[in-house]
Amino acid sequence: MSQVTSTDLYEVTMVLSYLREDMRAPATFSLFVRDLPPGRGFLVAAGLEPALDYLSRFLVGRSDVREFAEALRRPVEDVEPLHGLSFDGQVRAVPEGRLVLAGEPLLEVTAPLPQAQLVETYLLSLVCHQTAVASKAARCVLAAAGRPLVDFSLRRNHGPEAGMQAARLCALVGFAGTSNVAAATRYGIPASGTMAHSYIETFASEEDAFRAFARTHPGPVTFLVDTYDTDRGVATAARVLSDLGRGPGCGIRLDSGDLGALARRARTALDAAGLRDVQIIASGGLDEYAVAALVRDGAPIDVFAVGTKVGTAADAPYLDAAYKLVEYDGRPVMKLSSAKVTAPAPKQVFRGPGLRDVIGLANEEPPEDTEPLLRTVMRGGLRTDPPDTLASARARFEADVAALPEEARRIESPMPPVPVVSTRLSALTTVVRHRIEARTRAGR
């Protein structure tokens, strides 16, 4: 699939018109999330690395032109003006891992209008969903309160590519591992995995299964103990581990039932068998609410494996994100209809202590004791910096989370900080609104 034609048709119809009208002046588009979904006290900026990768490779080739023509049911010559179009604009963006709030631009693209427009759909498809998943995963990290988490989401994500992204985003916010082999090797994440119930079922007994597994895997092993009867499974696992003299690095996995109660009984049994080093891993439909409840109840679970609900960001699987034109040819623009009013002009987010943010104009003086969030990450179509690392993004995430107010951090009914709008942005919004309303009333 071409990244160029993986776009909405209207980008093409608009850009053909811009080229015909010779409208190639610089345009700035701002990508932001209008409102946070319920159950979110913050968002984690994500998707920038793949977005920059996309922009730096963007080039409309001959086969793309043919596809566009086919989709438009127009002769190839009509679409030929798009041929060779690439992206040589500027991108200012919030680095991955930083927390962002409602209305704050995640990135702003400034480029000749046709370029800035043609990349809209693909940019949104990267940034929206990745920010949604990273934000969900971040809440699991908060819920786990220091205990390690691993990502088991691949099978339930929206296709294998979404699974790759989920593994990366979980690692970005501090997960200790992923079950996804391709993601583990591509992103340098520790790979994690045990065995399925089917494995146990193919042997004559649970014990036979555990022993066979240990024969193939001389290092640390984790036994799944809930295929038939969990308490018996734990006892069998303890016997096999003791017999084989295994312990440190090994574990048992609970995947169903009352995980807290089962973990307590398992801990007691393992300790009684002298297997204090054997870890208890819990999985099975976990999300931040379930993890928080288990932690609160003091369940002796060492590792939480989360999957489905995190990888799909199940309670908020999309964000109300927009890529809005805010300036064209030096003129600030905005949309007025109904509830979807947007503020004009290129912007900056000034972050104060405790995430007291001010959304202002890109060119205004930073308020005292604030730090600007958006940085120039691409100029002339080229990255200004070497590719970011997951470790750097994670460090930014951890620093912002440490500054987050308690009511935004909490798992139940979090309250996000509300950014204020700077006086200058507010004044400009009023001016532009009046100008547009006057023009509309005049029937233009």
Q: What residues between 387 and 426 interact with a copy of itself by CB under 8 A? A: none
Minimum gap (Å) between residue 138 Cβ and a copy of itself: 17
- Which C-beta is closer to a copy of itself: that of 110 or that of 312? 312
283 belongs to the binding site for a copy of itself (CB under 8 A):
no
How far, in Å, CA of 381 to CA of 385, rounded? 12
How far, in Å, CA of 34 to CA of 320, rounded? 6
Minimum gap (Å) between residue 242 Cβ and a copy of itself: 16
62 belongs to the binding site for a copy of itself (CB under 8 A):
no
Minimum gap (Å) between residue 102 Cβ and a copy of itself: 17
CA distances to 124, 187, 328, 405 from 334, in Å: 19, 40, 10, 32
Furthest C-alpha separation in the chain: 88
Choosing from 57, 62, 197, 434, the residue that interacts with a copy of itself (CB under 8 A) is: 197
Closest by CA to 220, choosing from 271, 150, 281, 304, is 281
143 belongs to the binding site for a copy of itself (CB under 8 A):
no
198 belongs to the binding site for a copy of itself (CB under 8 A):
yes
Residue 387, both tokens: 């590719």
Helical packing angle, 288-296 and 259-272, nearest 10°: 50
> Burial of 421 by CB count in 10 Å (0-12 exposed, 13-18 middle, 19+ buried)?
middle
Applying CB under 8 A, which part among 135-143, 196-204, 296-304, 403-411 lies near a copy of itself? 196-204
Choosing from 110, 115, 157, 279, the residue that interacts with a copy of itself (CB under 8 A) is: 157
Closest by CA to 58, choosing from 393, 378, 322, 329, is 378
> Burial of 125 by CB count in 10 Å (0-12 exposed, 13-18 middle, 19+ buried)?
middle
Task: Map residue 113 onto helix, strand or coil.
Answer: helix
44 belongs to the binding site for a copy of itself (CB under 8 A):
no
Minimum gap (Å) between residue 286 Cβ and a copy of itself: 13
Query: Which uninterrupted H or E stretch holds 51?
Result: helix 48-57
12 belongs to the binding site for a copy of itself (CB under 8 A):
yes
Asked whether 284 and 226 are in contact (CB, 8 A), the reply is no
70 belongs to the binding site for a copy of itself (CB under 8 A):
yes
- Which C-beta is closer to a copy of itself: that of 93 or that of 154? 154
Choosing from 38, 75, 146, 159, the residue that interacts with a copy of itself (CB under 8 A) is: 159
96 belongs to the binding site for a copy of itself (CB under 8 A):
no
Binding mask 100-139 for a copy of itself (x = CB under 8 A): -------------x---x--xxx-xxx-xx---x------
Binding mask 207-246 for a copy of itself (x = CB under 8 A): x----xx-xxx-x------xxxxx-x--------------
Residue 103, both tokens: 């209305």
67 belongs to the binding site for a copy of itself (CB under 8 A):
yes
Asked whether 71 and 12 are in contact (CB, 8 A), the reply is yes
23 belongs to the binding site for a copy of itself (CB under 8 A):
yes
Closest by CA to 421, choosing from 342, 370, 357, is 357
- Which C-beta is closer to a copy of itself: that of 430 or that of 440? 440
269 belongs to the binding site for a copy of itself (CB under 8 A):
no
Torsion of CA 332, 125, 395, 354, to 10 degrees: 50
Upper half-sphere CA count for residue 153 (Cβ side, 13 Å):
36
Choosing from 62, 186, 276, 296, the residue that interacts with a copy of itself (CB under 8 A) is: 186
152 belongs to the binding site for a copy of itself (CB under 8 A):
yes
Minimum gap (Å) between residue 368 Cβ and a copy of itself: 34
How far, in Å, CA of 118 to CA of 11, rounded? 5
296 belongs to the binding site for a copy of itself (CB under 8 A):
no
156 belongs to the binding site for a copy of itself (CB under 8 A):
yes
155 belongs to the binding site for a copy of itself (CB under 8 A):
yes
